[in-house]
Structure 1
Amino acid sequence: MNDVQAWLASLLVLSGAAISLLGAIGVLRLPDSYSRMHAASKAGVLGAVLLLGAVALASSGELALEAFIGLLILLASAPLAAHAIARAAHRAGIRPVLGRLGDELEQRNRGGE
């Protein structure tokens, strides 16, 4: 591994860690479970993607296939899991903190008033 690869892998690790930290701060600071889940899923996936890229780069391509498979699984499962959890929370009666736009899902369930 040459110096450029080492620096780039280090930059990817630091970027992934920083984005994951921002997601964790979002989980602590945001007002409701839906916003928290959004922060955790989006920032967690992006942070993990950067870390997997760093693994592939730091291993000089030896672990690139494994990192790519992990990336595909993560990108396929994280949005589905976040959607399923949000839908279950909404059905359980956990209401979001609403802004100006209101609750679109509630309006659809009532017949689109």
Structure 2
Amino acid sequence: MLLTTTHVLQGRTYEELGLAEGATIQTVHFGKDFMNGLKTLVGGELTSYCEMMEKARVIATDRLIACAEKMGADAVIGVSYTTNSIASSAAEILAYGTAIRFTDGK
């Protein structure tokens, strides 16, 4: 499955199938959340949150691809990600774009 952030694919003809999306909400273990709270006092990277967000991006992307495949898509163009804080240690990540099917036979 081709994923691209561009909104137009030059040199290809295709039909737009509609919005494809994938989302997840992730959180960290209470102990890690507590330790991250202490880390904010001294500064530095909050590695468990970074790991949580990376895992969330992978899950959201996999769900985006599954949604596009169910639509019969060959690719998703205009792929974007957005995130929202759900609670103090939980975040939602949404991956979305336009599912397309190539019509030029390439």
TM range (shorter): 0.3 to 0.5
Higher strand share: 2
- Highest RCO, 1 vs 2 (Cα 8 Å, sep ≥ 6): 2
Higher helix share: 1
- Which has the higher Rg, Structure 1 or Structure 2? 1
